């Protein structure tokens, strides 16, 4: 019987030898104490190599970070991006304030019909500006009137306008902003 | 009942993408071990492993199930690590594979005065781990794939793309190197006793 090589001992332990050689080596091991010891060392080594002590672990947040890399969070909307910027919020507030001032402060002509204003002849350049602003104010009120009637008092119309502006901006963001501005 | 890898893959492909987290949980530790054995660096290994998972997720629709998910995935890990190593300009020791070595048992264990040994102690666990950490990566990876991940020769061939002869040779050398280190340590302990 040919003495086994160490490779054959590994193969013996892995169970990949043919049946005949497997039996031969088995007999050899039982006859030779040094080979028996060698087998014992290899078996114990294998047991350690298969144990959890050999396992390396990634950091605790590995799965979360990997999933974040795989599934990035949905892109924030352009509206949210605009609102995050305090300068933009300030600009929007100024525009709204301007609308409020225009609506409440500018004196209205006694004649509330816009068509009648167009027919008026301006007597001097000084009142062109005043009359023009009156015209804008009256026009604005004509458009706002149906909205104003939605609420018992006039202040509600600003709320409605605000919502309309918000929705229009959101629609713009959805249809155009995402496509062209990012 | 636990989900098999195949069930999770089906879920992910059908749109339940978050189910992929279960595959990550399932394979991250052994994948990390493979990456650490190859790259010898925990930080790089984690980066490579994450890259491998991202690649696996993207390629999942093309996974045909001819081999197991584990074999397929560890091949990705192996390739990502190999690419990282080639960028680093790592050395290779392939020439060693060409040397033929046939050691007869009577040559290697001529002594029968070796005492009964117990490798279960923590001391030997850390010795073995240190030895693997210091081992050339081509050998260390064989031990990891064969013992820890429980892959057979054919699967290791598929993962590494190496010929069967090379796989067997490297595994043999890795086992022998480890065995010699352990025996040396036992000798030192015996002399001290």
Distance CA A158, CA A164 (A): 10
* Nearest residue to A55 (alpha-carbon basis) of B53, B127, B30: B30
Among B105, B127, B172, the strongest candidate for a mutation testing the A interface, having the largest count of A CBs within 10 A, is B105
How much of chain B, in percent, has pLDDT values that exceed 90? 46
Distance CA B112, CA B117 (A): 13
Q: Identify whether the C-beta of residue B30 lies closer than 8 Å to the C-beta of residue B149.
A: yes
pTM of the predicted model as reported, rounded to 2 decimal places: 0.64
Residue with the larger pLDDT of the pair A23 and B105: A23
Residue with the larger pLDDT of the pair A137 and B86: B86
The pLDDT of B85-90, averaged and rounded, is 78
Tell me the longest C-alpha to C-alpha distance in chain A. Answer: 130
| List of chain B residues whose C-beta atoms are within 8 Å of the C-beta of residue A10 | 171-172, 175
Distance CA A182, CA A59 (A): 34
Is the model's pLDDT at B103 over the cut of 70? Answer: no
| Structure confidence by residue, pLDDT tens digits, A46-57 | 888 888 888 999
| Structure confidence by residue, pLDDT tens digits, A129-145 | 777 778 777 777 776 66
How big is the CA angle at A76 (ends A71 and A77), to the nearest 5 degrees? 140
Tell me whether residues B105 and A55 touch, CB distance under 8 A. no
| Structure confidence by residue, pLDDT tens digits, B112-142 | 444 455 555 777 788 888 888 888 999 999 9
Q: At what angle do helices B122-134 and B164-192 cross, to 10 degrees?
A: 140
With b meaning 16 or more CB within 10 Å and e meaning fewer, what string describes B152-171?
Answer: eeebbbbbbebeeebbbbbb
What is the CA A8 to chain-centroid distance, rounded?
A: 59
Is the model's pLDDT at A73 over the cut of 70? Answer: no
Among A8, A32, A48, A51, the strongest candidate for a mutation testing the B interface, having the largest count of B CBs within 10 A, is A48
Would you state the pLDDT for residue B115?
46
Question: What is the average pLDDT value for chain B, to the nearest integer?
Answer: 82
| Structure confidence by residue, pLDDT tens digits, B43-56 | 999 999 999 999 99
B184 touches chain A (CB under 8 A): no
Number of helices and strands in chain B (H, E): 9, 0
How big is the CA angle at A42 (ends A39 and A47), to the nearest 5 degrees? 125
Tell me whether residues A40 and B117 touch, CB distance under 8 A. yes
Is the model's pLDDT at A63 over the cut of 90? Answer: yes
| List of chain A residues whose C-beta atoms are within 8 Å of the C-beta of residue B179 | 41-42, 45
A60 touches chain B (CB under 8 A): no
Phi, psi of B94, rounded to the nearest 5 degrees = -60, -30
Residue with the larger pLDDT of the pair A118 and B149: B149
Tell me whether residues B116 and A38 touch, CB distance under 8 A. no
Q: Identify whether the C-beta of residue A147 lies closer than 8 Å to the C-beta of residue A161.
A: yes
Would you state the pLDDT for residue B94?
43
């Amino acid at each position: 019987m040919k003495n086994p090589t160490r490779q054959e001992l590994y193969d013996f332990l892995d169970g990949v030898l043919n049946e005949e050689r497997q039996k031969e080596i088995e007999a050899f091991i039982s006859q030779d104490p040094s080979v028996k010891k060698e087998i014992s060392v290899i078996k114990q080594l294998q047991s350690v190599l298969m144990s959890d002590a050999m396992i390396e672990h990634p950091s605790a947040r590995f799965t979360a970070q990997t999933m974040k890399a795989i599934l990035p969070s949905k892109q924030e909307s352009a509206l949210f991006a605009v609102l995050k910027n305090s300068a933009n919020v300030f600009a929007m507030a100024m525009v709204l304030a301007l609308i409020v001032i225009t609506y409440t402060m500018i004196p209205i002509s006694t004649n509330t019909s816009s068509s009648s204003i167009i027919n008026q002849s301006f007597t001097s350049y000084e009142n062109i500006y005043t009359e023009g602003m009156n015209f804008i104010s009256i026009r604005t009120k004509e458009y706002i009137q149906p909205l104003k009637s939605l609420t018992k008092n006039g202040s509600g119309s600003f709320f409605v306008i605000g919502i309309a502006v918000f929705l229009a901006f959101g629609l713009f963001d959805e249809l155009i902003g995402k496509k062209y501005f990012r | 009942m636990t989900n098999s890898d195949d069930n999770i893959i089906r879920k992910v492909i059908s749109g339940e993408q978050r189910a992929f987290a279960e595959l990550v949980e399932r394979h991250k530790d052994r994948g990390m071990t493979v990456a650490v054995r190859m790259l010898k660096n925990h930080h790089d290994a984690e980066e490579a492993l994450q890259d491998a998972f991202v690649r696996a997720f993207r390629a999942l629709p093309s996974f045909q199930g001819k081999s197991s998910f584990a074999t397929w995935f560890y091949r990705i890990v192996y390739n990502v690590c190999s690419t990282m190593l080639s960028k680093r300009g790592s050395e290779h020791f392939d020439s060693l594979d060409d040397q033929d070595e046939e050691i007869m048992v009577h040559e290697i264990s001529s002594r029968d005065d070796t005492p009964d040994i117990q490798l279960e102690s923590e001391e030997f666990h850390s010795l073995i781990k240190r030895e693997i950490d210091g081992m050339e990566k081509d050998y260390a990876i064989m031990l990891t794939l064969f013992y820890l991940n429980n892959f057979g020769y054919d699967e290791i061939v598929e993962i590494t793309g190496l010929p069967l002869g090379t796989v067997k040779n490297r595994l043999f050398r890795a086992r022998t190197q480890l065995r010699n280190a352990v025996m040396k340590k036992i000798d030192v302990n015996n002399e001290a006793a």
